[in-house]
A and B are shown apart, each in its own frame.
Chain A
Amino acid sequence: MAVASVVILALLTSAVVFGPLIWRMPINEIDFTARLAAPSGVHPFGTDDLGQDLLARMLYGGRISLAVGFAAMMVAIVAGTLIGAISGISRGSVDAVLMWITDLFLALPQLPLLLLVIYLFRDFLKGWVGPEGGVFILIVLVIGAFRWMPVARLVRAQFLSLREKEFVEAARALGATTPRLVIRHILPNSLGPVIVAGTIDVGVAIIAESTLSFLGLGFPPDIPTWGRLLFDAKDYLDIAPHWALFAGGAIFLTVLTINFIGDGLRDALDPRKVM
């Protein structure tokens, strides 16, 4: 399952990366004679309410959806590893405070806060780095900021057990400083579960971005991310179901393959498998 998923995900990724080079139909060419057309030879995925080609829009939107997913995952993993490592290596009050913050973040209602932050800061960032880049940075940072907690907990748990191991003691006996112990010895050994969590996080981040766009609060309307396509398609369900089905199917397929890959990695990395 996991291997098949890797193949499918690789195909999807290369399609959105290289697809626009091959499928040269512009994403915003309006053609009223072909409004809401069903899939055909000219438009393999059909067209939307303005006669814009859906295949071209999906390929373009897929780039953004996938980029948001990976970038948000990186933010979550870097922040989570940092906090988990600090918390795991230091004992006492620092650890307690950091874990209290982690638990607090786990109890936050994420989607409402996500919406709130985007509502409050959208205009500010738009003026600062332009509409597309501003929303991209904002969404990536905010999704990452609400996803680091599981990673932090995993890393902390790994640190707590690893720092008592003999090889760490040996390194310490040889005179290694704490930063060297952490970076050279403990951290590389604690990354297994982080990789699994990171894989799953990509899927979660893609769903989060699509949710925002679906609620009409993500990227601006002229940037057709998959969630945005669904948002636009939902009013035409009765006459143009292909529109919603292709966009939703793309999100589903991507997230499903990512979850299968994460599961496969977990099986491969986890030595105590229940038989």
Chain B
Amino acid sequence: MGKYILRRLMTALPSLLGISLILFVLLALAPGDPFGELANNSNIPPEVRAALRVKFGIDDPIFVRYVRWLVAMLQGDWGFSFASRIDVDKLILQRVPTTLFVVGSSQILALAVALPVGVYAAMRPYSIFDQIANTFAFIGFSLPTFFTGLLLILIFSVNLGWLPFVYRTDIPSGGWHWYLEYFKQAIMPITVLGLFQAASYTRYVRSAVLDVIRLDYVTTARAKGLNEGKVVIKHVVRNALIPVVTLVALQMPAVFGGAIVTEQIFRIPGIGSLLITSILANDTPVIMAVTFVFACLVVIFNLLADIIYGWLDPRISYG
């Protein structure tokens, strides 16, 4: 198992390098020297400006600049934010846990909804339950997250007044009350993101189970006299989950995209809303770093999916 994980890590590295290369080329192609804000300031005399350009290496060949930028990123030297004048890595580290909490809980919610519904629908294909589930799945992934978010705010915050619509990290009280408040403010963002994902996962689970449930080994398991619950959980679902894990991993970029929107609607202080505010403030170092962090998160979750894949499917060799 250790070797297998190591090998997956080795294949994840080239994709991270590729992503960093794409990011850097984009930045280099962009007109107007985004990193050269200081060097282009008209209050600075030309000779100082020339010295600054040499110091930051703006006129060096692009490949040299890429290697230097990559080395700096790897050493944790991410520059400092133009807007808030603090180190980019500190700014991001403050906010990553919130994003991971919201994304993680919404994924758990999505799977908790999608697995039972998808399996049950596939056991009775084209039944009434299946058709209702299918219709809801269609509605679910046709509703963009920004619209469902606004609808929930309209219903539960504006009309009913049950839930707060601004996410706060500085809840004044402590103890039980703190947990209650935290839970209450997290309900809506997690529901919005979770149900959106649940809609497409339900369809994946359903078709994966449908592919498996007709195989001979399932009939054999039934013929041996196993009860239906055991057949479904131990024989069908375990095998059906293999393609589902792959599809969930492929959804990761979309999940983090949805997280950006949700964070923006509910004003959650995560890295998604950091990205939007820094774009509005022309804060290039932060934008680059956040995009790179998102890329890393996607790669890490893909890696995780590969590991789960190896655990689910005994046919994969760890050699």
Tell me if A110 and B154 are in contact (CB < 8 A): no
Return chain B residues, CB-CB under 8 Å to A259: 138, 141-142
Interface string of B40-65 (1 = CB under 8 A from A): 00000000000000000000000000
B294 at the interface (CB under 8 A from A): yes
Is B15's CB under 8 angstroms from A230's CB? no
- Is A107 at the interface (CB under 8 A from chain B)? yes
Whether A112 lies near B264 (C-beta < 8 A) is: no
**A117-155 interface mask toward B, CB cutoff 8 Å, 1 = contact, 0 = none?**
101110110000000000000000000000000000000
B254 beta carbon closer than 8 Å to chain A? yes
Contact of B261 among A124, A203, A211, A263 (CB under 8 A): A211
> Which of A20-28, A38-46, A47-55, A250-258 is near enough to bind chain B?
A250-258
Q: CB within 8 A of B144: which of A110, A119, A233, A252?
A: A252
> Complex Cα distance A103/B260, Å?
23
Q: Which of A81-89, A182-190, A212-220 contacts B (4 or more CB under 8 A)?
A: A212-220
A residues near B310, Cβ cutoff 8 Å: none
Known: A107-B302, A252-B147, A255-B142. A112 touches B154 (CB 8 A): no
Compute how far the CA of A210 lies from the CA of B144 in the bound complex, rounded to whole angstroms: 9
Q: Which residues of A contact B153 (CB under 8 A)?
A: 237
Query: Could you mark each residue 150-171 of chain B with 1 if its beta carbon is under 8 Å from any beta carbon of chain A, else 0?
Result: 1101100010000000000000
Whether the pair A104, B138 counts as a contact (CB closer than 8 A) is no
Q: Which of B1-9, B18-26, B172-180 contacts A (4 or more CB under 8 A)?
A: B18-26
**A210, B30: Cβ atoms under 8 Å?**
no
Contact B265 A234 (CB under 8 A): yes
* Contacting residue for A238 out of B142, B158, B257, B288, CB 8 A: B158
Tell me which residues across on chain A come within 8 A of B125, comparing CB atoms. Answer: 274
Chain A: which residue is nearest B158 at the CB level?
A238
For A221, list chain B residues within 8 Å (CB): none
Complex Cα–Cα for A2 and B241 (A): 30
* Residues on B with beta carbons closer than 8 Å to the beta carbon of A230: 146-147, 150
Per the bound structure, the CA–CA distance linking A109 and B255 in Å amounts to 9
Minimum CB–CB distance from A101 to chain B (whole Å) comes to 8
Query: Is the CB of A115 closer than 8 A to any CB of chain B?
Result: yes
Per the CB 8 Å criterion, the residue count for chain A at the interface is: 44
CB of A39, distance to nearest CB on chain B (Å): 16
Q: Which residue on A lies nearest to B290, using beta carbons?
A: A112
Do the beta carbons of B265 and A121 come within 8 Å of each other? no
Contact status of A255 and B264, CB under 8 A, knowing A119-B287, A237-B154:
no
Judge if B103 is at the interface, Cβ distance under 8 Å: no
Contact with B along A202-228 (1 / 0, CB 8 A): 010001001100111100000000010
A116 x B142 contact (CB < 8 A): no
- Size class of the contact patch on chain B: 35 or more
A108 within 8 A of B: yes
Establish whether residues A115 and B279, one from each chain, have CB atoms under 8 Å apart when the complex forms. Answer: yes
For B279, give the chain A residue with the smallest CB separation. A119
In this complex, which of A112, A116, A233 has the most chain B Cβ atoms within 10 angstroms of its Cβ? A112
Given A112-B260, A119-B287, A238-B158; A107-B298 close (CB under 8 Å)? yes
How many whole Å from B209's CB to the nearest CB in chain A? 11
Interface hits, B107-164 → A, CB 8 Å = 125-126, 138-139, 141-144, 146-147, 150-151, 153-154, 158
Chain A residue nearest to B295 (CB atoms) is A109
Cβ-based interface call for B232 (8 A): no
Measured between beta carbons, the chain B residues less than 8 angstroms from A207 are 144
Chain A residues near B150: list those with CB within 8 A: 230, 233-234, 237, 244, 248
- Known interface pairs A112-B291, A215-B264; A117-B26 also in contact (CB < 8 Å): yes
**Smallest CB gap from A146: residue in B:** B253
**Is A6 engaged at the interface, CB distance under 8 Å to the other chain?**
no
Cβ 8 A contact of B27, one of A120, A214, A263: A120
Q: How far is the CB of A106 from chain B (nearest CB, A)?
A: 6
A227: chain B residues at CB < 8 Å are 146
CB atoms of A107 and B147 under 8 A apart: no
Ordered by A's residue number, 9 sampled pairs between the chains whose C-beta atoms are within 8 Å are: A108-B19, A109-B297, A111-B256, A113-B26, A113-B291, A211-B257, A244-B147, A255-B142, A260-B138
B residues neighboring A (CB under 8 Å): 15, 18-19, 22-23, 26-27, 29-32, 34, 125-126, 138-139, 141-144, 146-147, 150-151, 153-154, 158, 210, 250, 253-254, 256-257, 260-261, 264-265, 275-276, 279-280, 282, 287-288, 290-291, 294-295, 297-299, 302
Q: What 7 additional pairs, Cβ within 8 angstroms, besides A217-B276, A274-B210?
A: A107-B19, A110-B257, A112-B260, A120-B27, A124-B30, A207-B144, A211-B144
Closest 3 CB pairs of A and B: A111-B257, A120-B30, A248-B147
